[in-house]
Amino acid sequence: MNQLLRKKSIEQIQADAAGGFSDAESLTEPHLRRTLGTFDLTLMGIAAIVGAGIFAMIGGAANRGGPGVIFLFIFAAIACAFSALCYAEFASRIPVAGSAYTYTYASLGEIIAWIIGWDLIVEYAIGNIAVAISWSDYFTGMLKGYGINIPLHYSMDFLSAQRGFEAVQEAMKGGSISVEKLRQGCDAVDATISCTKLEAFDAWISAPQLGGIPIIADLPALLITVLMTTLVYIGIRESKFASNIMTILKLTVIALVIVLGAFYVKPSNWSPFAPNGFTGIMTGVAAVFFAYIGFDALSTTAEECKNPHRDLPRAMIYSLAICTVLYCLLALVITGMVNYSKLNVGDPLAFVFGEQGANIPWLAGIIAISAVIAMATVFLVFQIGQPRLWMAMSRDGLLPKIFSSIHPRFKTPWFATIITGLVVAIPALFMNLTEVTDLAVIGTLFAFFLVCAGVLFKDKEFGREGRFVPYINGQFIVPAMILIGAFLIFNFNGESVRDFFTNFSPTVEGESFLGTLSHKIPSLSFALLAIALAVLSFVKRLSLIPVLGMLSCGYLMSELGITNWIRFGIWLLVGMVIYFSYGMRNSKLNQDRAVSA
């Protein structure tokens, strides 16, 4: 057990960075350039955060929550803020590439560090698959505006096309309805088959076949992956410049949307403010959280910062605050321009300036271009973060040495960058956006959870002075908050609580009792977590902010459902197999221990 929980001291990590420690490089080999300042890092954070969430997912969230979706953004921002402070605390003390991986290595031990490093692949690489797919949708939509149409089977993933084909086939069973009939009513709210599924059906039947299997692949997603991976490969300086230019342009367009849209707001659209109540607002919280993923990627560039102790924490907080303000303003503007019931579209910001909104076609076109830029900037920052995470793990011996090899000319982790490109490009051709997004979100929340826990473990070592996470005694505050929360839930939503514990009716036809029970596991797990933290806070006088970070992230994870928990659990099990078969034996700490013995 001691071997699994062996830790790298903060002093050792900093000394390794200062001395250029790496299994794949000696003191005479090239190091990463220190070129990034607070302004650069803040723009990189904004570039990573503002993207798929605000340009695509805000529509569905607003459709379910109404104008009250602003509370959803604020709640998600608060959860991120707690985690951001914990990230800043570690990032200012451990200025080494690796993000939460390096932080947990110093606080929780090697086995936990491996878990979080493996988990962060979900956030960076799998998250980038989602971004690539979303970018493809906006890119093809933009081209359509100029009369350029990419064949559907080369701009859609295989799984979506297959599901659309099966849904249309099911609807036409018995011959009572034709495809033409389905097309006529596909845009209605109560349509049997949506227009999106009919497009998937068309992609399936029009695709060329190989051995009876339709050849369907998202080629634009492959294009953006190749372009951004090449940019990252040739160096952080070029990547930084490109990211800054794209982000400034993107923010200019968003400001234009907010300012012009404000003149077309109809206050009557804000009533009712929360048409489906608190439950309706919270149903979209996981999707909205995806809009905040990205600020933690900044910590992976620590070795390229001019002053990581000062610049990294500031950039994280600045980028998070700026994005929260933008999200709330945009949410109020679009729900004020068009009734929330019409916003369940893939391009809500362009939609509100279309025929059913302000009817300004030229501005809708600018927004489409902006969306393409937004997706590209998100992709760029994540694609920078993943290779540097692998580089940090390779330095510690948990991955082969070649992952930390630095290119002699470009000064970048060249092999890790190529592998990252392949890991993103191949699945992006065929995978479905929904499954990818959910997995990326739960992986990110788990990473945030462990970083907050790490601050609790290192609380005494960090002391009380010069901290980004000020110590606030949670001995009475946390138990009181849990008790008040429980009282409010039982008092205002008692029927739902009773139903949760007494109703075990199948959620789908043919589901077993255990299957029904499994859907309650995430909520029960969160309840147990809340009780445990309340007791520990009272007994151990835990610091308030990290505890609130763990609670908020834990709650959001409980909203993702048991299916995503199972998928994420399988991913972690695969990681454990790799650790015990390679990482544990080749760990730098294990080798140092053998030498000293």
User: How many helices (H) and strands (E) are present in the chain, helices listed first?
Assistant: 29, 2
- Whole-number Å distance between alpha carbons of 569 and 525: 14
For 92-131, write each residue's pLDDT tens digit. 666 555 567 777 787 778 888 888 888 888 777 887 888 8
- For the cut 60, the answer to whether the pLDDT of residue 450 exceeds it is yes
Q: Which residue from 60, 115, 71 is spatially nearest to 454, judged by alpha carbons? A: 115
Cβ neighbors of 358 (< 8 A, separation 6 or more) are: 260, 261, 264, 337, 352
Alpha-helical segments (H) within 352-395: 361-395
**pLDDT in the model for residue 315:** 82
Q: Which residue from 390, 234, 375, 407 is spatially nearest to 294, judged by alpha carbons? A: 375
pLDDT band per the 50, 70, 90 thresholds, residue 323: confident
Helix 361-395 × helix 100-107 angle, to 10°: 40
- Whole-number Å distance between alpha carbons of 195 and 541: 56
**pLDDT in the model for residue 393:** 85
- Whole-number Å distance between alpha carbons of 160 and 194: 13
What percentage of the chain reaches a pLDDT higher than 70? 84
- Whole-number Å distance between alpha carbons of 417 and 573: 25
The three-point CA angle 227-231-235 to 5° equals 165
Alpha-helical segments (H) within 122-193: 127-145, 158-171, 179-184
pLDDT band per the 50, 70, 90 thresholds, residue 242: low
**Coil, helix or strand at residue 31:** coil
**pLDDT in the model for residue 477:** 92
pLDDT band per the 50, 70, 90 thresholds, residue 595: low
For 555-593, write each residue's pLDDT tens digit. 988 888 888 889 889 989 999 999 999 988 888 887 766
**pLDDT in the model for residue 386:** 82
Domain residues of the chain, as ranges?
10-147+221-462, 158-206, 477-596
**pLDDT in the model for residue 535:** 93
Q: Is 10-147+221-462 in CATH node 1.10.3720.10? A: no
**pLDDT in the model for residue 26:** 34
- For the cut 80, the answer to whether the pLDDT of residue 55 exceeds it is no
Query: Mean per-residue pLDDT for 132-141?
Result: 83
What's the pTM value of the predicted model, to 2 decimals? Answer: 0.82
**pLDDT in the model for residue 478:** 92
User: What sign does the CA torsion over 580, 583, 589, 591 have?
Assistant: positive
- Whole-number Å distance between alpha carbons of 550 and 554: 6
- For the cut 80, the answer to whether the pLDDT of residue 340 exceeds it is yes
pLDDT band per the 50, 70, 90 thresholds, residue 236: low
Structure tokens belonging to residue 328:
């709330």
Q: Which amino acid is at 392?
A: A
Asked whether the beta carbons of 343 and 79 are under 8 A apart, the reply is no
pLDDT band per the 50, 70, 90 thresholds, residue 537: very high
